[in-house]
Copies of this chain bind each other. A is one copy, B any other.
Amino acid sequence: MIIDCHGHYTTVPAPHTAWRKQQLAAWENDQTPPAYPAIPDDEIRESIEGSQLRLMRERGVDLTIFSPRASAMAHHEGDEAVSRQWAEACNDLIYRVTQLYPESFAGVCQLPQSPGVPIANSIAELRRCVEELGFVGCNLNPDPSGGHWTSAPLTDRSWYPFYETMVELDVPAMVHVSAVTNPNFHATGSAYLNADTTAFMQFLQADLFEDFPDLRIVIPHGGGAVPYHWGRFRGLADMLQRPPLHESVMGNVFFDTCVYHQPGIDLLFEVIDIDNLLFGSEMVGAVRGIDPQTGNYFDDTRRYVEALDLAIEDREKVFEGNARRVYPRLEQLIKA
């Protein structure tokens, strides 16, 4: 079985996106947004079957851990109520996909984060998505300000109530920022990668996983810059008199394989323990084109992993076993 831990619903039916625009316009004009539109199942099927599901089938992916479009979370837009309504709408849509294609999709939720709003206010939506909608994890935005980094680091105690709930529900979080308003950054080109690197360094510096030994965090996009600079991070842990990374961080942190060329995947698997790697593609997502150097899609990351010629038990870990361990709530979905 091949599980893709990192898929976003980027091909949503048009009425969903149109409603978001209406919602934000209403907020700006201090009005009540219109009711969320009725979207027939067929529109959802159409939006999935011609893109995500077709690509999954073409690439031999059985199950995608599926979350709302990351760049559209836009936690910096509107206010807390706007974010809550939008997160609920996005998560409900993911839920419908998981119900239409229960063998192909498991849900991961967007949170109703908003700049300056305590993360504890996102607990109810996490709980609803996990307990009522059967979701297996969440996307946690370390910078809901949209590129201004006004929140406390992820290791700050203000995040702890949320981690307590994650541990209680036995779900992991993927660290994932969203669109940015800061013109210095490009969402998929620098903001995402920077956030990955930033989060890892925060974890390196603090005792978060001593406080939460069962907390599990997925850092996407192959861990940002971290594996490429693995020596730097090992050396910084030493200089900062922190424990070695495998003791203090890598029991709880996992990287996906969203690295869009063979040399990057080669390095990732060379320096990071196989138990910390989860197959992921981030599709249909950041980079949709075909690499002229290979003739294959940049984000067809399965090819790169297959080219490694892993031992059979390592291959099973990356494609399935590690995902089932990090997202244990997958068990009931896969069995069902």
Q: Within the assembled complex, what's the spacing in Å between the Cα atoms of A306 and B102?
A: 53
B267 close to A188 (CB less than 8 A): no
A183 close to B222 (CB less than 8 A): no
A225 contacts B by Cβ under 8 Å: yes
Report the nearest B residue to A221, measured CB to CB.
B229
Mask: chain A, 197-208; 1 = CB below 8 Å from B; 0 = not = 110111011000
Q: Within the assembled complex, what's the spacing in Å between the Cα atoms of A279 and B234?
A: 21
Most chain B beta-carbon neighbours within 10 Å: one of A147, A148, A229:
A229
A184 contacts B by Cβ under 8 Å: yes
A36 contacts B by Cβ under 8 Å: no
> How many identical chains are in the complex?
2
Q: Within the assembled complex, what's the spacing in Å between the Cα atoms of A188 and B190?
A: 17
Known contacts A148-B149, A286-B236, A263 near B267 by CB under 8 Å: yes
A298 contacts B by Cβ under 8 Å: yes
Mask: chain A, 157-198; 1 = CB below 8 Å from B; 0 = not = 000000000000000000000000011111011100110011
A134 contacts B by Cβ under 8 Å: no
Mask: chain A, 293-317; 1 = CB below 8 Å from B; 0 = not = 1000011000000000000000000
Q: Within the assembled complex, what's the spacing in Å between the Cα atoms of A298 and B231?
A: 7
A289 close to B235 (CB less than 8 A): yes
Q: Within the assembled complex, what's the spacing in Å between the Cα atoms of A234 and B259?
A: 12
Known contacts A143-B184, A228-B222, A231-B261, A289 near B149 by CB under 8 Å: no
A259 close to B232 (CB less than 8 A): yes
Q: Within the assembled complex, what's the spacing in Å between the Cα atoms of A190 and B193?
A: 11
A229 contact set on B, CB distance < 8 A: 193, 221-222, 259-260, 264
A198 close to B202 (CB less than 8 A): no
| Chain A residues bordering chain B, tally (CB within 8 A) | 59
A227 contacts B by Cβ under 8 Å: yes
A115 contacts B by Cβ under 8 Å: no
A153 contacts B by Cβ under 8 Å: yes
B183 close to A193 (CB less than 8 A): no
Q: Within the assembled complex, what's the spacing in Å between the Cα atoms of A263 and B201?
A: 20
214-250 of chain A: CB within 8 A of chain B:
221-222, 224-225, 227-236, 238-239
A49 contacts B by Cβ under 8 Å: no
Choice from B156, B185, B234 contacting A149 with Cβ under 8 Å: B185
A-B pairs, top 5 by smallest CB distance, nearest first, are A231-B261, A231-B260, A235-B287, A225-B225, A228-B228
Known: A193-B197, A193-B229, A229-B264. 6 other contacts (CB 8 A): A148-B148, A149-B149, A190-B202, A194-B197, A222-B228, A236-B286
A selection of 24 A-B contacts at a CB cut-off of 8 Å is A142-B184, A148-B148, A188-B232, A189-B204, A189-B205, A190-B194, A190-B198, A190-B201, A197-B197, A229-B264, A230-B263, A231-B261, A231-B287, A231-B298, A232-B260, A232-B287, A235-B286, A235-B288, A235-B289, A235-B299, A236-B287, A238-B289, A263-B271, A267-B267
